[in-house]
Chain A
Amino acid sequence: MTMIEMKRVYKTYKRKNVATEALKGIDLEIQEGDIFGVIGYSGAGKSTLVRLVNYLERPTSGQVIVDGQVLNDLSDSQLRAMKKQIGMIFQHFNLLESKTVFDNVAIPLVLSKKPKDEMKKRVMELLDFVGLSDKARSYPKELSGGQKQRVGIARALASNPKILLCDEATSALDPQTTQSILQLLKRVNKEYNITIMLITHEMSVIREVCNRVAVMEAGEIIEQGSVLDVFGHPKYPTTKNFVKTVIHNSIPESVKRTLKKTENSRVFRVEVKGEVASEPIVHQLMKNHEVEMNILFANMTEIQETTLVIMYMQFDGEASAIERTLQFLNEKGAGIEEVVE
């Protein structure tokens, strides 16, 4: 089921008669249960995009559909009811400094006028879920960044939302804390079956938790798909740059310089995914002696609990022998691309 959908969404800001196009024709679909990542450099329009989902930003044109409801058609009070179905966490946590952890988490329930005892039960349950039961009486000032974000997550979950929006939720945290928050988000996704949309500029965040990803540049989604596909086959320079930050995906310069090209040699990029990666493909290739094989570069990454292996291989041999080798790889389910430089 589609949880979040955007159709031809444009957003233009007007300031002092200068119009800035923040979003230029966004088409997007996020399925129920997805952890959908949006990555892009600052100014790409990510923040605006995520705020369209709970209508903190209204589109200039185009449709935003959340859980089957077209947000454009809703009245203010219907929108407020809709927002209770959507939790949101922020880069700087945005907790009330004047209230205890307990009261911060309780606030969405206070707004919905829930009875006191029900509220107490729910808040303690959530604090337990995020591992902060002992901090109920503390103030945000007394917490570390990671703990603050846990409070933020508990607060966002208080009203039992279907969707959780994460606005650079780990960007202010150190790598270790980031890891623990990401693990928590995974649990939120699995245990409560909450669809998560997160925006980030860190590819490692996408690799760690997302199953689908969209890459944004200058107000447009330039690439989207499963994380495995996008990581394996980045098409645009921006995507390639992002992927490069977590996967080395090209022949190192030093190898390139010393690469001996002969008349019969060809270089291929071979990509192997999932179970195939554990088969002794290389061994089998070497055994048949038809071509001389040289691995120029190899990298292995785990994405979504799937192994992704990227190798650059040079084959030297007769044309027909190389063709047979390629066919063998093809049968094994490897993705092959010739590298022409």
Chain B
Amino acid sequence: MFETVITLDQFLQASIDTLYMVGMSLFIGSLIGIPLGIALVVTRPGGIMQSKTFYSILNPIINIVRSLPFIILMVAIIPFTRMVVGTSIGTNAAIVPLIIFISPFIARLIENSLLEVNAGIIEAAESMGATPFQIIWYFLLPEAFGSLILSITTATIGLIGATAMAGTVGGGGVGDLAIVYGYQRFDTFAMISTVVILVIFVQIIQSTGNVLARKARKE
């Protein structure tokens, strides 16, 4: 039907690369972003561990990183990436900017989810003599859990978009395939099939997120 130069192996490899980049940066990004999100909520004015200094430093830093489009962030931090992984090319090199890109995004999403928790619940926790850690662990996180899952889902989909741009540093992945073959070599088959794969990825992730969130919300 269509003339194409890419092989099935290339497709599989690209899919694996995408999943690897998304998975790794999501994992490390969550390890950084979730505590930051919690920190934003508890240190904000009126929070359970209110700290004007901490909040007024953290908040703008997150805003600054968040204001950079991924493609610019990626090239801007090339020296840093080279320092961390020893190279600025390849899948592992792409993960560094992906983490820096996604962590503050996750922090904001988590912050929003936690802020949705009814203030009355926090008050009830305080009335029981819960420590700040207990309030976070036994009240804040369980109550926001459904919403947290949806936040992470949104972050994951955001990451899939970002990995496509990682192709420009030779990151590989499906996005790379679409640009190098589909766009630059007018390989319509490559283009369509990558689009289909990305759509399937996003659909699966969003549906899984929705199901898990519904479960967490006891619906």
Contacts and interface: CB of A to CB of B under 8 A. Distances in A.
B142 interface: yes
Interface of A: 54, 56, 79-84, 86-88, 90, 92, 94-99, 107-108, 110-111, 139, 141, 159, 165
B145 to A, nearest CB: 6
Contacts of A90: 120, 123-124
Interface in B160-219: 216-218
Contact of A81 (B124, B126, B127, B129): B129
A139 B143 CA distance: 13
Contact of B143 (A92, A96, A108, A110): A96
23 contacts: A56-B123, A56-B126, A79-B129, A80-B130, A81-B129, A82-B129, A83-B127, A83-B128, A87-B127, A92-B118, A92-B120, A96-B121, A96-B139, A96-B143, A97-B143, A97-B217, A97-B218, A98-B142, A98-B218, A99-B142, A107-B138, A111-B130, A165-B127
Given A88-B124, A96-B121, 12 more contacts: A54-B127, A80-B130, A80-B131, A83-B126, A94-B118, A94-B121, A96-B139, A97-B143, A107-B128, A111-B128, A111-B130, A159-B128
B134 interface: yes
B129 A139 contact: no
Contacts of B134: 111
B142 A96 contact: yes
Residue among B124, B131, B138, B145 having the largest count of chain A Cβ atoms under 10 Å: B124
A111 B127 contact: no
A249 B35 CA distance: 61
Given A96-B139, A96-B143, A111-B138, A80 B129 contact: yes
Among all A-B residue pairs, the 5 with the closest Cβ atoms: A83-B129, A80-B129, A94-B120, A94-B124, A88-B127
Contacts of A96: 121, 139, 142-143
B50 to A, nearest CB: 13
A92 B216 CA distance: 22
A141 B143 CA distance: 13
A133 B127 CA distance: 25
B128 A108 contact: yes
A98 B131 CA distance: 20
Interface string B131-155: 1001000110011011000000000
Interface of B: 118, 120-121, 123-124, 126-131, 134, 138-139, 142-143, 145-146, 216-218
A101 to B, nearest CB: 12
Main secondary structure of the interface of B (DSSP, over half): helix
B137 to A, nearest CB: 10
A139 B120 CA distance: 18
Nearest to B132: A76
A90 B122 CA distance: 12
A167 to B, nearest CB: 9
A82 B134 CA distance: 17
A67 to B, nearest CB: 14
Given A98-B143, A98-B218, A111 B124 contact: no
Residue among A81, A86, A97, A99 having the largest count of chain B Cβ atoms under 10 Å: A97
Contact of B138 (A92, A95, A110, A159): A110
B120 A141 contact: no
Contacts of B143: 96-98
A92 B123 CA distance: 12
A141 B218 contact: yes
Contacts of A81: 129
B121 A84 contact: no
A110 B123 CA distance: 17
A110 B128 CA distance: 11
Contacts of A97: 143, 217-218
Contacts of B118: 92, 94
B123 A84 contact: no
Contacts of A79: 129
A92 to B, nearest CB: 6
A165 B127 CA distance: 10
A321 B172 CA distance: 111
A86 B126 CA distance: 11
A292 B209 CA distance: 84
Contacts of A80: 129-131
A98 B113 CA distance: 14
Contacts of A84: 128-129
B151 to A, nearest CB: 16
B93 to A, nearest CB: 40
A169 B134 CA distance: 25
A99 B124 CA distance: 14
